[in-house]
Amino acid sequence: SEPTFKDEPYKSIARQVIRQRYQLLPYLYRMAWQQTNGGLPLIRPMLYSFPNDSSAANATEQYMFGDALLVAPVTDKGARQQAVYLPEGTWYHLHTSEKILGKGWQTLAAPLEQMPVLVKAGSLLPVWIAGAIAGSTAEYTSATPLQIRYFAGSSAQPQWLYDDDGNNPKALQQKQAHQLLRMQARQNGKQHQISFAPSNWPAGTRRSFSLLPIGLSGQAFTVSVNGRKMKRLFTPGESISFVFTGQSVSLQIVEQ
């Protein structure tokens, strides 16, 4: 069952999926914190996340993975398409960034190397960007720079970044031992407001972030940080770097 013993192209596909899992470590850690702190399951039936959508009850071959990701496993041998139910709103294909509108069933491509995974609009998805990822024990720490992927839209609920040193079993009970950052995104036409506020941030802690907007319709965008406009234009695919020290940060993006 070890991927290293599989033939190609399955070995390379398994390697890529494992790397994606490492990239999602900050998101997985947030989910673990939510489960520990509030009992929220990591894997959630569609009706659990969308209780007012009666059609979600029939989408039994897919699930929400945390609050941002919709996963539609392909279980039929040889299948290269998958029927996916998308609740109302805008969704993004995780691998291609294609924007797809709910509400309703969609038939999505399912090539061998890509299982359909959708991201809910307004999500702020924390990911770890590393080159040759060997493992998390030594390379990923609570000081590791992270990328926050903003999928254009508004989030009804605040989102979180939780982190600690991975060693202290009482980190949640000790304020100096963990980081808890409250994040939220709001969109009004071509204006996007993304806020970062400390819920718990140890004194003296500095952490580097880059915000990558996904799904902007303009050819360029301006950025203001805490009301101060940056002097240059950004283009789609560029990220916005900032250092968080414990003071609230508000980023405003305006599409041109």
Give residue 165's pLDDT: 86
Give residue 2's pLDDT: 85
> Are residues 125 and 141 in contact, defined by beta-carbon separation less than 8 angstroms?
no
Cβ within 8 Å of residue 190, ≥6 positions away = 217, 218, 254, 255
Give residue 134's pLDDT: 59
Q: Which two tokens stand for residue 29?
A: 């850690």
Q: How far is CA 176 from CA 30, 146, 214, 247, 253, in A?
A: 18, 20, 33, 16, 33
Amino acid at 241: S
Q: How far is CA 139 from CA 5, 129, 130, 169, in A?
A: 26, 11, 9, 19
pLDDT tens, residue order, the chain (256 aa): 788 898 999 999 999 998 899 999 999 999 999 999 999 999 999 999 999 999 999 999 999 999 999 999 999 999 999 999 999 999 999 999 999 999 999 999 999 999 999 999 999 999 998 765 656 666 788 899 999 999 999 998 999 999 998 889 999 999 999 999 999 999 999 999 999 999 999 999 999 999 999 999 989 999 999 999 999 999 999 999 999 999 999 999 999 9
Give residue 140's pLDDT: 83
> Are residues 175 and 113 in contact, defined by beta-carbon separation less than 8 angstroms?
no
Buried b / exposed e across 6-35, counting CB within 10 Å, b at 16+? eeeeeeebeeeeeeeebbbbbbbbbbebbe
> Are residues 82 and 112 in contact, defined by beta-carbon separation less than 8 angstroms?
no
